[in-house]
Amino acid sequence: MKGYKEIVVVGAGPSGLALGAELQRLGMAARIFDRQEEGANTSRAVVVHARTLEVLEPMGATAELIRNGVVVPVFRMRDRNKILATVGFKDLDTPYPFTLMIPQDRTEAILLHRLQSLGAKVERPYEVVATRDLGESVEAQLKHDGELSTLRAQWLVGCDGAHSLVREQAAIPFEGGAYEENFVLGDVEMDWPIEREEVSLFFSEKGLVVVAPLPGTKFHFRIVATVDRVAETPQAADFQHILEDRGPKKGWAIHRLLWGSRFHLQHRVAKTLRHGRMLLVGDAAHVHSPAGGQGMNTGIQDAVSLAGALESTIRTGQDDALKDWQEQRHEVASSVVSFTDRVTRMATLSSPALKSLRNAVIGIIGHVPLAQHALAERLAEIDHREFVNH
Ligand SMILES: Cc1cc2nc3c(=O)[nH]c(=O)nc-3n(C[C@H](O)[C@H](O)[C@H](O)COP(=O)(O)OP(=O)(O)OC[C@H]3O[C@@H](n4cnc5c(N)ncnc54)[C@H](O)[C@@H]3O)c2cc1C
C-alpha cells in the first residue's frame, strides 16, 4: 500500500487511533505503536462535540458513537438553584446539533474497531525510546520484550500524550503554566433533580462543579469539580460535600461512586506542532482545563486534519499542506487553551464582588441570542471549520 512505513504514529490514545484510521481510509497506512499492553479502560474525557462527530463521519465512527452515547442539547450555567444562562446547541448549523456524552474508553474502542475494520492495527507493547530527525527521513528506536530495534520513516507523529517523548526529542518547548487547583472527577449513580438533556455548570465561590449525564441508567452521571485539597483517590463523601456546597439545594442523593480520579492540570501549548519530520497531535501539543470538555476533541480534530495534510504531502512531494496544518492547528490549540483558561478563572472567582459581576455578565450573555449562539459554536468547535482541510 502507498505510504506504508512512511509514517510512524507514536501512541494509540484517541488522537493516535483517529489519525491511524483516517490515514488508512485515505490509503496511507502507517505503523502505529503504543507502549501499553492494552488500551486504557477508564472513562476520562466524556464530552464529544459536534465538530468531532463531523470529522469522524467519513471513517464511519460517528453513528456508532451516537448509538453508545447520551445526546445533550443544552449546557446550563447555574449558581445553586438559580439559572444564570443557557447555551443551546439545537440551532447550530451542523448535522449534529448537540453534545454527546460517552466515556473515553468506549470512544477509544469504537475508533480502534474502525481502524481495524479499515485494515490497520496497533502494535503493542512497543515503546518508542528515542527519535532522530535525519533530514531526508526520521528514525525511531523501539523497545519490545526488552529488545531494541530501529525503524526509519518519512514522518513521525507524536500522539504520545502530555508527557510526550516526541516533543522532548524534537526539543519543542511546552509553553504555559499550571493551575493551583486540583480537579476531581467521579462517575456516580445518583438521584438528580435536573433533566438528563442538560450539562450543568455550577459557579460557586468554593469552585466550579460540572454535572453531566452518562450512558447507562437514568442514575448515571459524571461530576467534575475544582478543589483545593483532596485525597489521591476521591471517595463518594468528597462528591457529597462538593454538591452540598455548590450544587442544587435539594433533590439529589449520591448512591455509589463507580470511578473517581484526581488530577492536577496545566495549560500549555507546544511552541510549534512541527519540527522537521516530527509532528505533534493531541495532548502532546496542548493541555488545558476540562472546562467545556475540549481536550480530546481538539486532539481528534488535529489528527483527522493531519491525515489529509500528510496524504497531500506524500502524494505531491510538497509540504505546503503540512505548513498550513501546523499554522492553523497551532492557532486553534492556542485559542482553545486561552478560552478554557478564561472560563476556568471566571468559574473559580472567590471575591463576592467579582462573583456578582461575573453572574451579571453571564446573565447578559444568556439573554443575547447572538452571544449565546457564538458561545455554542465555540464549544461545539464548529467556529473553526475552515482550519480543517476536510
Ligand atoms: C483522569 C483524567 C480525566 C480526564 N478527564 C477529561 C475530561 O473530563 N474532559 C476532557 O476533555 N479531557 C479529559 N482528560 C484528558 C483526555 O483524557 C485527553 O485529552 C486525551 O486522552 C488525549 O488523547 P491523546 O490521544 O492525545 O493522548 P493520550 O490519551 O494520553 O494517549 C497517549 C498514548 O500514547 C502512549 N504512549 C506514550 N508515550 C509513548 C511512547 N514513548 N511509546 C509508545 N507509546 C507511548 C500511551 O500509552 C497512550 O496510550 C482527562 C484525562 C485524565 C488522565
Closest residue CA from atom 12 of ligand 1: 45
Per-residue pLDDT, averaged over 257-266, amounts to: 90
Per-residue pLDDT, averaged over 79-103, amounts to: 94
Q: What is the pLDDT of residues 344-385, one digit of tens each?
A: 788 777 788 887 888 788 888 778 888 888 889 988 888 877
Distance 46 CA to ligand 1 centre (A): 13
How many Cβ atoms from other residues are within 10 Å of residue 267's Cβ?
19
Mean pLDDT, the chain, whole residue set: 92
158's grid cell: 507524536
| Ligand 1 pocket, mutate which of 101, 102, 104 (most atoms under 8 A from CB) | 104
Per-residue pLDDT, averaged over 238-246, amounts to: 95
Q: Which of 104-108, 222-226, 349-353 has the lowest mean pLDDT?
A: 349-353
Q: What is the pLDDT of residues 118-157, one digit of tens each?
A: 999 999 999 999 999 999 999 999 999 999 999 999 999 9
| Angle at alpha carbon of residue 89, lines to 69 and 202, rounded to 5° | 80
Residue 20 has pLDDT above 60, yes or no: yes
Measured CA to CA, the distance from residue 253 to residue 296 in angstroms comes to: 30
Cell 452518562, residue located: 214
Measured CA to CA, the distance from residue 225 to residue 211 in angstroms comes to: 9
Distance 268 CA to ligand 1 centre (A): 15
Residue 15 has pLDDT above 90, yes or no: yes
Closest residue CA from atom 9 of ligand 1: 45
Closest residue CA from atom 31 of ligand 1: 13
The pocket around ligand 1, CB under 6 angstroms, is made up of 10-16, 33-36, 44-47, 104, 127-128, 159-161, 165, 185, 224, 261, 263, 282-283, 290, 293-296, 299
Q: What is the pLDDT of residues 31-82, one digit of tens each?
A: 999 999 988 888 899 999 999 999 999 999 999 999 999 999 999 999 899 9
Ligand 1 atom with the smallest distance to the CA of 34 is 44
Q: What is the pLDDT of residues 196-207, one digit of tens each?
A: 999 999 988 788
73's grid cell: 442539547
The predicted structure's pLDDT at residue 237: 94
Distance 41 CA to ligand 1 centre (A): 11
